[in-house]
Every structure is written in C-alpha cells, then in structure tokens.
Structure 1
Amino acid sequence: MAARVHLANGKRAFIKAASSLVAPAVADFHRRETAVSQRLPAEAPTPRLLDAYDDGTWVVLALEDIPGRLPAQPWQPDELDRVLAAVTGMTEALTPSPVDKAILSKPRLGGWLEVAADDAVRAKVEELSPWAARHFDDLVVLEQNASLIGSTLLHGDLYPFNIMLAADRVFVVDWPHAWIGPWHCDAVTLLSSAWLSGVEPQPIAERHPLIRDLDPVRVNEMLALQAGFLLKVAAAAGPAADRNLVAMMTALGLASLRWLGQRM
C-alpha cells in the first residue's frame, strides 16, 4: 500500500506498507528507508518520518504528507532549475553522511561485466543500443575503473518520479536505495533523465557547481554505471516483469548512453 491519508485528529500523512510474506523485497526497502529517514537532518529537503511499525511481517512507514506535485514532464526549465538548486543544497547538507554505511544498500550501478557474461542479455542490450554494441569494451573499462569514493549520502534513484514540488520547497522522496559516495552522482543521475524531455544536459552540467570542476572521466564513469545497471535489468527481465517498469528503465538507460556518447 502507498496512500495519502486523513487522520482522525485532522492531520494528514503518507503511509507505505508491505508484507514480508507477500512482497519481501519491498518490505526490506521499507525497513531500510525507515533507518535512513530516522537519521536525515532537518535541513535536508526530505519528508519527516512521523512513525514506523515492524512486527516481523508487516512493515509500515508514516511520513509527512507533502502538499505538492511531481515535476512536469517534459521538464520545464524553471522547474529543472529549482530542482537542481535543491539537489545542491541537499548534497551539502548530507556531506559528510549522517547515516552509517553499514545500514545502507550497495549502489545500484554497473552491469556491463554481467552483460558480457550472458550472450542472450548482451544481444538484447546491443539491439537496444547499437552505440553500446560499438563501444562495449569502452563501457566495460569505464565500469572497471570507476571511482565511487566519497562521503556524501546519495539518494541513489534521483529521477523525476522521486521529486515533489511544493509551493516554496522541493522535496526528495523514497530513500531505500541511499548509499555513500562522490557528491556529483545524484546530480548526474537527474541530468541524465533530461534527455527524455529533449533537454541537453551537457551545457547545464558545465555550469552546475557539483559537476563543473570534476575530472570529465568521473562523469563518464557514472553515466556508464547507470546505463549498465538499467539496461542489464531491463534486458534480463522475464515475461512476468512489469512492462512499464522495464520500459522506464530502458528509456533512462538509453538516455545515460546518449549523454555519454556525446561526451565521448
């Protein structure tokens, strides 16, 4: 369940719940998000955790209800500017990380080595992206040499569907995939999605304070890691997989490769 609710005392909340028996992966995500949310500082642009419940089967979070909406898609320039400014402030507030690495997940990044080991998945990925087929060895090298050393708590899934725009604030929601690494990673993730709106990310990246002074190879590595994870999962998805989710992951993976191809 995921629902906005009216409480008996007149207040509102956003409730997420999952059963460990029916949806164990989602329940584990909720447990991890609870642990992260309990430790996020007040200055971070995130919903406050109001309460949590876990009886070993049911896992429930009660979060502050955000009176806002998702960003318009395609991206509107003023909204993208607002969100990028909020990401900069969030990154500063979360460096160094207020959450211990031991309770976090591993970053959902990389996959070219696994794709290389599975002929069927590799063929599907190369069908999706002829550019990847021509540059497969380059993508593997970028993944192998990638540096993810850093001290920033990163959201790990910073796409438009995890952002809420209120009247005077931007909120970043859904934190089960948080990890600790270099502070440019969330900004690169967000900008990579701009291609889906026809917005070219490179000029924006050249101005953005979290990216503009980086060694360009660090950005290339992040784009390769993102695309590797997304396209690996999408290409390996079986017939029971959510086709909307597969289509979304494919589109986002190809957007990362498009920007990477331009940079290379």
Structure 2
Amino acid sequence: MTDCVGGMSPGPAARVRSVSGATAFVKACGPELNPITPELLRDEARILVVLPDHPNLPRLIDAYDDGEWVALLIEDLPGAVPDVPWSTEDLRRASGVLSAVGPVLDGIVSDWVEPARASPIFSDGWKLLADRLDQVDPWWAKHHDELAAHAERAVALIDGKALLHWDVRADNLIFGDQRDVLIDWGQVRRGARWMDHALLAMDCAMSGSLGPTALEFFATEPALAGRDPADLVSLMAAAGMTFAARATEEAPPGLPTLPATRARWADNLRLELEAIL
C-alpha cells in the first residue's frame, strides 16, 4: 500500500496492490473525520457507477457504505496531476479532456444530480463578505459594490441542464502516457454547458498560469467561443468574494488547511480581478 498525499479529502487515500498483483486506488471517510465528506463520496459513487467506459473517465471497481463510513475502490491511474502554474500545453490537454467528456455526460440520464443553484460559491456565498470586510484585505472593501454587481450575475450564468464535473482544477486531473483522466466526481451538478471550461479558465487564476491569463484563456478557448469575457469576471468575483469571506471561518473537522487554501484562492483571484477592474 502506498499512501497518497494532497487533495481535499480528510480521509485515507492510497494505492493498493492485491496478492494477485492487481492495483487500485482507494479513498474513504467517516463522519467522525468530517461530516460532509462521506456524502460527497456517496455522490461520487452514484455518478461513477453510471459513467460509461471511456479513456478520459475513471472506472469504479467497488464501493462500501455501512451508513457511516464510505469507501471507493477505483482503478489505479498511472500518471500525475498537471504542474501548476499551468503551462499552455497542459491547459490545451485539459481542455481536450473536457471537450471529450462533455458529449459522454450528455448521454447520462439521472434525476438525483442537484441543480447548479446548489453551488453557494457562485450563487450566494459572496454575500457573506459584506459583514466581514474588516477581516479581509482592504481591497475587497474598496471594490465591494463593484464586485457585488458582477457577482450578482453569476447565479443566472451558471444555470442550465448539462451534466458537469463542476470541480475542474489541476489536482482533479491525471495526465498519463496513454490517457488523461478527469477524477474526483463528488461535486457533479447540472448547469450551463460551458461551465467546466470556464472553471478551467478560473483555475488559471486560482492556481496560476505560465501561459495565458484566465481572461486570455477564456477569450481564446474554442469551447467558450461566443461567451462574453464579462461572464468570467462575474464568476471570479463571486468565487473570490466567497473564498475571502470563508477564509475567515474556523477550519472544518479534518480539514485544517482549508482556510489557508481559501485565502490563497481569494488572493489569486483578487490579483486577476485587479488587472480587470
């Protein structure tokens, strides 16, 4: 067994090998570690079991759920997450994965997936910041009203019926010699078809980019052709305000680094927004 580090889950994650030599990846969590993560794993199991065989999609081998602890046994994927800051080549590879996966997701019929409005990062989390401006960088207070006007557009922008991964970041992709795979499907939502590519653009800001800026990627990405760049500004404003506000909160159980991660994402989005506003 080889422990895996990184990611956002508080539970164990490891590559395992059976006596026959077969390998797999296992991740698990119980409510005593974090009350929300087991439900995310349940959601991931529900979508993985209906995903068809496709080179850009992971395969679920088995799942365990005793009502408290949930464990997923997933195929072992050789490769590594893309380096960040993003390179232009890796962004192109990631965009290709999203474009290939989109039509596959269109063929999945499911009524359990929550609508995009269940994503508070874009829908209403940004409203928290108004009461916490004295706890964050003064830039957020100086530009609050302008940012709020942008963020208010986000809830209408994200709405739609397309099935989406909804958590597109560098650490949710595995680039391999034979195949590139989009992993960690616990956040699946229905929303606007273009949103997964927009989230990739936003990760150019959140994780950094050695190539195009978030706005440059958004403006030149074929899958986003015809979209107004102001749409990305609205998404970044909503997400940045949410992350800034929630970085002031205590860490949830099992996730001691989450406030610092939110603060870093907020700061990186702020730098992108500073260049635009």
TM-score interval, smaller chain = 0.7 to 0.9
Aligned partner (choices 69, 82, 95) of residue 84 of structure 1: 95
Cross-structure match for 1:31: 42
Whole-Å separation in 2 of the counterparts to 1:51 and 1:241: 25
Cross-structure match for 2:74: 63
**What's the CA shift for 1:16?**
1.0
Cross-structure match for 1:258: 271
Cross-structure match for 1:140: 148
User: Where do 5+ consecutive residues of structure 2 fail to align?
Assistant: 1-11
One-letter identity of the residue aligned with 1:112: W
**What's the CA shift for 1:3?**
0.7
Cross-structure match for 2:220: 207
**What's the CA shift for 1:76?**
2.8
Aligned partner (choices 244, 260, 267) of residue 231 of structure 1: 244
User: Where do 5+ consecutive residues of structure 1 fail to align?
Assistant: none
Q: Please, which moves more after superposition, 106-115 or 253-262?
A: 253-262
Quote the RMSD (CA, aligned, Å): 2.5
Whole-Å separation in 2 of the counterparts to 1:239 and 1:100: 30
Pick closer, same or farther for the CA change 1:163–1:42 going to 2, 3 Å: same
Task: Answer whether contact 2:50 2:108 (CA < 8 A) is retained.
Answer: no
Pick closer, same or farther for the CA change 1:75–1:238 going to 2, 3 Å: closer
Cross-structure match for 2:121: 109
Task: Give the TM-score normalised by structure 1.
Answer: 0.86
The list of structure 1 runs, each at least 4 consecutive aligned residues, that deviate by more than 6 angstroms after superposition, is none
Could you report, residue by residue, the CA deviation over 1:45-86 in whole angstroms, capped at 9, with x for unpaired residues?
Answer: 221111111111221111111011111223233222111221
Cross-structure match for 2:191: 181
Pick closer, same or farther for the CA change 1:241–1:37 going to 2, 3 Å: closer
Task: Answer whether contact 1:17 1:61 (CA < 8 A) is retained.
Answer: yes
Whole-Å separation in 2 of the counterparts to 1:102 and 1:241: 26
Whole-Å separation in 2 of the counterparts to 1:90 and 1:261: 33
**How many residues end up aligned between the 2 structures?**
258
Cross-structure match for 1:48: 59
Whole-Å separation in 1 of the counterparts to 2:272 and 2:194: 16
